[in-house]
Chain A
Amino acid sequence: QKEVEQNSGPLSVPEGAIASLNCTYSDRGSQSFFWYRQYSGKSPELIMSIYSNGDKEDGRFTAQLNKASQYVSLLIRDSQPSDSATYLCAVNKGDSSYKLIFGSGTRLLVRP
């Protein structure tokens, strides 16, 4: 079992729709959760950080965390073609290992 799992996609949504990206993790002690966006040929860019159960909203983005079920999700409202990218989920194990574990990423395609 991978430590952080994501569906590789591609997830295809029409422009203006809500895109829902999911991530599960294996270590119950994980404390910090992050979503990154990576355009082809570019480096990952931080979108959201979430540390406690519930929802956290930032503009069109909402991160959701459920520690009991060990999943974290990212919702993108009013999806735009410019949102087409690979979205990486990253988890800090919280065991003082000082490293983020990344999922393999979900490729999102927003159709005009």
Chain B
Amino acid sequence: KAGVTQTPRYLIKTRGQQVTLSCSPISGHRSVSWYQQTPGQGLQFLFEYFSETQRNKGNFPGRFSGRQFSNSRSEMNVSTLELGDSALYLCASSLGENSPLHFGNGTRLTVT
């Protein structure tokens, strides 16, 4: 069974630009979560989607948004990029509540 697939693997953007990251979950997994990982803050929860509905959102500004499609694939968007948005963005899928998350390889975003 294929794992969680994230694209692209690396991105370099300039301040003020916007970026869209993509995630395809494990087949059969309807829950998709997004995390930001930085050396100083560790893994920070961004949001979680299930059946195209955002069920929970972390403490991030409105510049961070996401969506989930009917095939469970998900995208997250960051607008008006700031230097502090440089991080590893991880997508994870699961079967649902109380189930473990399975992570993709991540997208490393660098904002210059």
Which residues of A approach B to under 8 Å, CB–CB? 31-32, 34, 36, 42-46, 49, 51, 88, 90, 92, 94, 96-105
Which residues of B approach A to under 8 Å, CB–CB? 31, 33, 35, 42-43, 45, 48, 50, 55-56, 58, 88, 90, 97-106
Let me know if B103 and A99 touch, CB within 8 A: no
Let me know if A99 and B98 touch, CB within 8 A: no
**Which B residues are CB-close (under 8 A) to A88?**
43
Shortest 4 CB-CB distances between A and B: which pairs?
A: A102-B43, A43-B103, A104-B42, A32-B98
**Which A residues are CB-close (under 8 A) to B35?**
102
Let me know if A100 and B106 touch, CB within 8 A: no
Q: Which of B42, B45, B90 is in CB contact (< 8 Å) with A99?
A: B45
**Which A residues are CB-close (under 8 A) to B50?**
98
How far does the alpha carbon of A97 sit from the alpha carbon of B42 in the complex, in Å? 20
Let me know if B97 and A96 touch, CB within 8 A: yes
Let me know if A100 and B98 touch, CB within 8 A: no
Q: Name the CB-closest residue of A to B40.
A: A104
Let me know if A101 and B103 touch, CB within 8 A: no
Let me know if A43 and B90 touch, CB within 8 A: yes
